[in-house]
Structure 1
């Protein structure tokens, strides 16, 4: 049996599941997958945005199945990053998944983007992977060298130039000569990249720059600018929700972080936000009587009332939570929130006699729920959670786990991290701190 503790093995399983699901995820540049190579640098992929959710669901299901922690970051427009963390020492395998390709022509004669609908038409499938044709992959690599301001002298670039030169030497004279000229320094990267862009234009993959084509790429530029501005604002909100079923170790891990650095970290419970509302206190006796009639089989407390009347809870929280947002702009502390709005979009979580499900109007309610920059979703094997706490039954734990991710997909955070806590507390603490500080 494969060692499921290594990030490399999880990465390989992820790619296998993607192929099995017939998702055309394309590796843009050749890169070996191995214990020696995979933990340095990153893997660049292209996929049509239509497949984003399906792709992320595969990663989530794999994380749950194998107990693997991972992050999903959306720090650039039309780009998703997935970091897979090794179980032993939190080493990272980084995947950068692009929904379009950037082009910076040296002489400004082409569009700045290759759009997904065009690129999708040039993807080929073999037994083990999807890929672009060798010619297009090679031409885009030359263009990328200039766009990414890569140094030709670096070992990795030299290795890839050598690879494409070797692959193109038969039956691809025009493309082979471009790499040969670059390899032997007969032409610089500026001229070679421009020639590659012109060939891409002749193939209909890239378009020449004109007024009509500039108008076509304007929406992408506009939303990229809007997205960048939003990201900068969200990053200043030092509030981090921590969600997960009781028994996954949220309190233990968060408290350890705070105890070690009280100057920069603190926490509060989300339910205190709405339960302190005068409106909530006023209506509580009435709601309790009504819930007793709806759910006569259980003893009714505030938790049961909050679950049944989640819309009322969300309304009260929305009235008061903005004060937390504003104060966080001026605070030097990062504040962990134990649970968040998302949980109250699920009904019957703690009513074990009933099936948990998302509220019928959950998508409408979600539109009003504020998003922070990042969130941590804590989890562990269902059997372990049941041994630690008896708050939820097996069906409730699994519903909670899956619905939280479904809610995330509908309205993403900039950084979503799934933390499997079936390991030493110190490893979970180390991983959280690295993610918060932007070290991984």
Structure 2
């Protein structure tokens, strides 16, 4: 089959690789009909996530048709399914608490050492996201093996277009969980840093949860325009002093909740961010957490900090004094996708949530390297790239 493979920093290629096979009775093989490039994929593309190996198949946002099942799979051939990016067994301590992204059994034992040493406990398995998270082949391919297929995938009713439900695989539940982690109360003012896919879905979710005001912060005009269309007030950090603007907009109190939907690759020519970039380039650090620092300082006393943005290592200059003295609460984590799928699918079917507005580009799988390049370097114009294995390569 054809699949997008990683070969180093800014080097991804569509190669011919062996077809996936059933390994475990709970496996299923999915023929991919749609798959997307995620902002988190850019962390791999930029070389920030360790334990990638040449030839690894990328991609963790995908859906398709069941073509083969193991003896213990609950799926049936011909069903259309969306597959969560988190791989979960469904029966461990954490899965029993619906904390699927903390699954203890989906990351093979010989891949757990690095994440356990770095984070104190082993990570769960993720599709297409390094050997630290299991080394599983991803879904930017023609076919993919889905472990624990009796737990993860959700069956999609006939007649529903892929593009309406594809983002159930990751970014829609991630944006929803980000808003949920902010403990939004009716009438709240919520500030969201980053108007990429997760940030936009967090804005949409915050309004659905009762926020009175959402203030969106970015510097790409097109992304800010999308946030404004959702009803958010917008701030461009290139021409606005964000802390001062937030204080003015909230009468000096600060937002009730703040959401960092940016993560480890903050943009902007700020003193702390420039220093972080230098340290990352010199391999003296891994994160550029300017947004996290700014969000904590801006949040009101007694407020809530939600962090859906991906961080992988250690954060320097963390404003612990502000966090403690103001009595803030922080929640973060990979998304417990399986927990949110039924409710969010129903919301889509009832037309309470729309996701299709986000798609800016549709490409053949063979054009995936170009898709990565423009998603990385043309972020004002490229909000989401959806790859279709069935499409012909662009001329």
Q: TM-score of the superposition, structure 1-length normalised?
A: 0.24
> Who wins on radius of gyration, i.e. which is larger?
1
More helix by share: 1
More strand by share: 2
